[in-house]
Each structure stands twice: as structure tokens, then as C-alpha cells.
Amino acid sequence: MKLKIVSLVYLLLVASFASGQTNFRVKKLDADSLASLIPGKKDTEKIDALNLLSKVICKVNIDSSINLSNQAIRLSEKLEYKKGLADGYFNLGDYYYMLDSLEPTISNYLKALRFYEDLGPSLEYGNLLMQLGWINFYKNRFEYAYKYMILAKSIFERIDNDELVAYASFGLGRAKTVFGEHDSAIYYINKSLLVDSVEHGESWAWGYFGLDIIYFNQFDESKDTTYLRLGISMLEKALKCPKIDDDLKVIIYIGIAIDYITFNTDKHISYGIEYLEMASRLADSSIQAYEHKDEILRCLAWTYNMQGDYDRAVKLCEQSIRFTEERMAAFTIDQHPEPLIALNNKLSHRMTKVWVYECMYDTYTKLGEYKKAHEYFVLSQEAEKEISQEKNRNLMTMMEADSKDEKAKSQIELLARDNDLKALAIKQSRTFNFGIAGIFVFLLLVGLLLLRQNKMKAKHNTVLLEQKLLRSQMNPHFIFNSLANIQDFIWNKDPLTANEYLSSFSKLVRLILENSRNDFVPVEKEINTIENYLNLQKLRYRDKFEYTIEIDPEIDEEDMLIPPMLVQPFIENSIEHGIRLKETTGHIQVRFYLQGDQINIEVKDDGIGFKKSTELKKDRKKDHQSLAMTITQERLLMHYKKYKRKIQLTISDLMDDNNQVTGAQVVFGIPYNQG
């Protein structure tokens, strides 16, 4: 219970902190005066004015803001004005964020990011990186959040903006807190406290609150109450910071109350109740702090539940539910100063409702009223399921947006290559027309051009082949089945298994995307890819098979490099066309061993064998696995052409003493490189 309270309070806190630094706040300008100036402006000045006007009016007329940004983008494309394109796409991302539409938000942010990268360090570039960092953070993509925030920090340092360096440091401290890296988290939070100005009193308070969360997590790991006392001292410092508003005061009161209640002694619990009542009185008297009323009621309800005062706990829960439903019914994003605050308040109300239902279930169970307890248990499950489904949808949306952005980058690179080739052709044509260098120079230039074109064509073919392989390994059917099975574990209240397989899935996606860009990867990375893939397939087929991976101790996994993603299609073939058709549990053995100057990779299964599998799928018109294996053989040929080193591939059925098929075996003999 206590950790849930802390998580939610921290969520609200960071939403408030992040809101002070987004792209939504602009200087107060007269929209009519600004609009009247646009007809008199031309070219880039007109683009800048369109982008500025769109930001000024976005809170009152978002449709017009979107229209103005699109005008700025179209004009910027004609003039090849990268700053106008970057600002226009950044603004569009903001407006779709205000409309709570995640896919166009991320897509437009990523488009803006490409242009800001070309333009170099700027305030807008850093703010965009932080915006992407916070969005990824709240969608539970913490590694992506850290990547964006560490880059934002370097941008703010390069433009000498100490205030924003502190802001980025706070975000990095938050990410390190989630990772459980307490020392690093404390280091970054302390850096966020270095802004030396009374005007930044609230920033100091947020930093002290961040330190309290770290100390609370350390207490949770060690059960040493010294950390709780440290946390309370940090929050007391936060209360003394200048210029903190009622909203932040309520959050600090709740944090102090939680720390005291966690001591779990009558004296400390009474202190905690006092702070919660202080928070409640302030929330009742302040419009700013009123949003936290349901959270205060929930904390009080759990506290009285712990003390055995069940009637009071039930009344407080009912009040919290009524408040939450009232706020959710009246919820609109434009009521809040920033979309980040609005969307996190919405999530906090929904999570509070789940936890209040859990409190009601626990309370009625202790009262022996099992029918009511069951009703609230069902309500908590339904509310939690709804939140979980939305998180999964958001995760898929973020992944799709990233994938589209990667494809767009690839297309831009291909267009750039085409332009280079066209420019070279024009240059060669001019050289030919002049004819000054004579026949020998002409033939030499033509030869060089043909050689370059052949290399470019070979490189292009390699890229196409790698894209085919990537598509064969990241087919939508496999991704859908993996996520569906992971969701089953979440539904069945098995979070540890769900987390394990979600981790395997995310690692597999990352490894496949990274490996597809390299001709050689360390053996260790290839093993990680295979292991994550096998774990997901075990989930998909409900432990239809077991597997083992053996590595020769003479293989230096970090220093020896091999071509990536050769083995996976054959492992998939073992599962799909060998073991899946067995009635009993199968086994797959993957073995890496050193033989001379090459690494042998052996994939062995006890399925039905290649011959019988071929007979069973003879009448099929399409077969994904056959495509993947064909692409792999094409890669082997391309590898030989490029590096003049042949990779041996042997495929055979395994036979017993009675000449009966006992499985299938694939062996690669791969010459390795040293890292």
C-alpha cells in the first residue's frame, strides 16, 4: 500500500515539475496584432510569425493553430527552411498532445527532432528532447526516457542554460531512481538543486522531494528507518523553500505523512494522520490543491484500515470514490495549464480508484462481509484491466511511431544517395563534353564511375536483404502473439512472469534492430538474441519445448565477432515444423564451439525431421519459414562476395540405430573476426 501511495505522489510531483519547462508557454502577445503583421511579412519571417501565432492561440482555438502550423510547414518545404520545419512539427506534436492523440504527437515530435539535429544545439532542441523523455517515461519506456534526457542535458550545457541543466538533471535523477541506481539518482537530484536563485524555490522543493523518494526506496530494500528520517528531513527542507504554491505543499504534506505512517508505530501513525488532515484542510481551501483530495482520502482510509477503524475507512473510501468520479466526469485537457499535468491527473484519478476499491475489498474482508468484498474485488480488477489495456495500446503506438520514423530515415538516406549519384553523373557528363583529359582520362573516369556504381549497387542489395531479413524476423503475427501472451499473464495476476517476458520481448526487438545494422556482432549479443527469442516462443507455445544453450569456454564471447541473425530462422523452423507437430514436449539444443579458425553453431532438435516436415507442407502455397531460410542462404552468398570468406552450412536429419528419424540438425561453420 505505502509504495503505491509514494509512486502516485511522485507521478503528480514530476508532472508539476515538467510542466514548467514545456513548449506550451510563450510570452503574452496580442494575437490580433500578430495576425495583422503576417500579410506584410515574407519568406522565413512569415514562417516564424505563423509558428509563433499558432502557439499564442492554441489554448483558445487549437484547430486554427494546427492549420497555421501546416501553412508554416508547407512554406518551409518550398523555401527549404529547416528551422521553420522543426518549429512547425514541434508545434503540431504539442497540439496533438493537447488532443490526447499519442501517435501523431510522437510522429510529429520525431520529425521535428531530425531537423533540430541538423540545426545544432538550441533551446527548442533541448525542450523537445525533454518532452520526448517525459512522454516515454510515463509510458514506461524508461531506457528511451534516459536516452533523450541525457542528450537534452548536453544540449542545455552547450547553450549555457544552468536552469535547464538542473531541469534535465532532475529528470535523469528520476530515471535513475526507477532503475534502482540510488547513488546516481542522488547525484543527479543534487545537481538539480544547484540553481542559485530565490525564484527557483519550487525547483528546490521538487529536488528535496526527489531525494525523499530515493531514501524511501532505500528503506524499502533495507528496512533501516534511518532512511525514513532522512526523507522526512528532506521534505521539511522542501516546506521551507520560498515561493512554493498550495499544490506542492499538499504533495509535501502527503509525503511526510507516508514516511511517518511507514514507521508503523502508534506515535508515528498519529503524526502521519495529522499531516494528512493538514493536507485535507489546505486542499479544501485551495483551487490549486483541490485536485489531490481523492488521494488524501485514500491515504486516510488505508491508515484507518491498518488501525482497525473499518467504519471510518469505508466512509473515507466512499468519499474518495465520489470525488474521483466527479473529477473524471468534468475532465478536459484545456482545464489544465499543460497536457502533461492533465493526462497525469487523469491517470492518478484512475489509479486512485483502483486502490480505493482494493481498500474496500480488504476492509470488508476483515469485517467478514464477503459479498461486498467480492463486489469491490471485481471492480478493482476491471478498473486495473482497463488501465493495463490502455498501457499496452500506448506501448504499441510508441513502437509503431518509432518504426515509422526509422523507415522515414532510411528513405531520406536512400534519396540522399540517389542525389549523390545524379550529381556525380552530371559531373561526369560535363567532363566528357569538355574532353580535355583525352581518351585515357575519360576511360579512367568511366571505370571509376562503374566501380563506384557497382559498390553502391552491392551496398543497396545488402540493405534490401537486411530489410527482408528484419521483416521476416519481426513479422506482425509473432509480435501480436507475444504481446497477447504477455497480456494473459497480466490478466492472470502473474506480474513477475509478465515482466520477465515483456523484458525478453523488448530486449529481442532492440537486439534485432541493432544487429540488423551491423555486418558483425559479438557472440555474446547473438546469444542474447537467441535466448530472448526462445523465451518468447516458449511463452507462445505454452512450454511445448525446453531448450539449452551451450558455449565452448574457449570462445571469447565479447571479443569474437560473427554475422548476426543467421541461426534464428532455423530455430524457428525447428519449432514451427518440427517440435510443434510432436505430441510430447520437445527439446532444442543450441551449441557454440570453436574449431580451428571458425566458430561452429549447432542447432539440434528432437522433432519430426526435415524430410517429414517437407512432406507435410508440400501443398502449401506460402511458407514464412521457407522465405526466412532462403534469405539466410542469400546472406551467406552476399557475405562470401563481400569478404571472400565462406560460411559452411550443413542440414540433416538425425537417425537412430534402427534408421528412424529422431530429429533434425543444422550446423554453421563461421569464420570469426576479432573485436
pLDDT at 5 over 70: no
Indicate the pLDDT class of residue 452, thresholds 50, 70 and 90: low
d(CA 357, CA 379): 7
Q: How far is CA 189 from the centre of its chain?
A: 22
Q: Give the model confidence (pLDDT) of 241-269 as tens digits.
A: 988 889 889 999 999 999 999 999 999 99
Name, in order, each residue with C-beta under 8 angstroms of 296's C-beta and a sequence gap of 6 or more. 250, 254, 276, 279, 280, 283
Nearest 5°: the CA angle 188, 192, 193 is: 120
Q: Give the model confidence (pLDDT) of 105-142 as tens digits.
A: 999 999 999 999 999 999 999 999 999 999 898 888 89
Indicate the pLDDT class of residue 403, thresholds 50, 70 and 90: confident
pLDDT at 203 over 90: no
Q: Give the model confidence (pLDDT) of 296-305 as tens digits.
A: 999 999 999 9
C-alpha cell at 375: 463486489
CB 625 within 8 A of CB 573: yes
**Least confident stretch, 197-211, 339-353, 362-376, 441-455:** 441-455
> For position 402, what pLDDT does the model report?
78
d(CA 173, CA 215): 13
**Least confident stretch, 440-449, 510-519, 644-653:** 440-449
C-alpha cell at 314: 469505508
> For position 221, what pLDDT does the model report?
92
Highest mean pLDDT among 2-11, 81-90, 561-570, 640-649: 81-90
Which of 487, 552, 479, 477 has its CA nearest to residue 512?
479
Residue 614 backbone zone (phi > 0: left; psi -120 to 50: alpha; other: beta): alpha
C-alpha cell at 349: 484519478
C-alpha cell at 413: 538516406
**Least confident stretch, 400-409, 537-546, 587-596:** 400-409
> For position 14, what pLDDT does the model report?
45
Q: Give the model confidence (pLDDT) of 136-192 as tens digits.
A: 988 888 999 999 999 999 999 999 999 899 999 999 999 999 999 999 999 999 998
Which of 395, 374, 360 has its CA nearest to residue 490?
395
Which residue is it, cell 524476423? 473
What sign does the dihedral 131-136-140-142 (CA atoms) show?
negative
The pLDDT of 28-47, averaged and rounded, is 70
pLDDT at 10 over 70: no
The pLDDT of 26-39, averaged and rounded, is 60
Which of 564, 645, 566, 626 has its CA nearest to residue 602?
566
Name, in order, each residue with C-beta under 8 angstroms of 491's C-beta and a sequence gap of 6 or more. 385, 388
**Contacts for 119-124: CB closer than 8 Å, 24+ residues apart:** 119/82, 119/83, 119/86, 121/155, 121/158, 121/159, 122/155, 122/159, 123/159, 123/161, 123/164, 124/23, 124/86, 124/87, 124/90
Q: How far is CA 670 from the centre of its chain?
A: 35
pLDDT at 537 over 90: no
Which residue is it, cell 559498390? 455
The pLDDT of 558-564, averaged and rounded, is 90
The pLDDT of 622-643, averaged and rounded, is 67
What sign does the dihedral 572-577-580-586 (CA atoms) show?
negative
Q: How does the average pLDDT of the chain come out, rounded?
A: 82
Residue 672 backbone zone (phi > 0: left; psi -120 to 50: alpha; other: beta): beta
Q: Comparing 485 with 103, which gets the higher pLDDT?
A: 103
Q: Comparing 42 with 438, which gets the higher pLDDT?
A: 42
> For position 405, what pLDDT does the model report?
72
d(CA 158, CA 350): 40
Side chain identity, residue 368: G
Which of 323, 375, 386, 378 has its CA nearest to residue 349?
323
Which residue is it, cell 503528480? 12
Which of 480, 558, 488 has its CA nearest to residue 523?
558
> For position 31, what pLDDT does the model report?
58
Which of 154, 170, 236, 245 has its CA nearest to residue 10?
170
> For position 21, what pLDDT does the model report?
45
Name, in order, each residue with C-beta under 8 angstroms of 237's C-beta and a sequence gap of 6 or more. 204, 208
Whole-number Cα distances in Å, 47 to 32, 38, 62, 94, 448: 17, 9, 18, 18, 44
Q: What topology is assigned to 462-674 in CATH?
A: Heat Shock Protein 90 (3.30.565)
Indicate the pLDDT class of residue 481, thresholds 50, 70 and 90: low
CB 531 within 8 A of CB 570: no
Indicate the pLDDT class of residue 285, thresholds 50, 70 and 90: very high
> For position 437, what pLDDT does the model report?
57
> For position 578, what pLDDT does the model report?
82
pLDDT at 16 over 50: no
Which of 508, 480, 473 has its CA nearest to residue 392?
480
Which residue is it, cell 483530495? 293
C-alpha cell at 54: 499558432
Dihedral, CA atoms, 588, 593, 596, 597, nearest 10 degrees? Answer: 90
Q: Comparing 362 with 388, which gets the higher pLDDT?
A: 362
> For position 13, what pLDDT does the model report?
44
> For position 160, what pLDDT does the model report?
94
> For position 410, what pLDDT does the model report?
67
Whole-number Cα distances in Å, 573 to 587, 598, 603: 13, 24, 11
Q: How far is CA 375 from the centre of its chain?
A: 35
The pLDDT of 79-88, averaged and rounded, is 95
What sign does the dihedral 118-120-124-129 (CA atoms) show?
positive
Name the pTM for this structure: 0.58
> For position 428, what pLDDT does the model report?
57
Indicate the pLDDT class of residue 322, thresholds 50, 70 and 90: very high
The pLDDT of 548-554, averaged and rounded, is 93
pLDDT at 73 over 70: yes
Residue 665: strand pairing partners: 604, 652
Q: Which helix (H) or strand (E) holds 587?
A: strand 586-595
Residue 594: strand pairing partners: 599
> For position 418, what pLDDT does the model report?
56
The pLDDT of 521-525, averaged and rounded, is 91
Indicate the pLDDT class of residue 517, thresholds 50, 70 and 90: confident
Q: Which helix (H) or strand (E) holds 561?
A: strand 560-562
d(CA 671, CA 194): 54
> For position 467, what pLDDT does the model report?
52
> For position 4, what pLDDT does the model report?
41
Indicate the pLDDT class of residue 396, thresholds 50, 70 and 90: confident
Name, in order, each residue with C-beta under 8 angstroms of 304's C-beta and a sequence gap of 6 or more. 310, 312, 313, 316
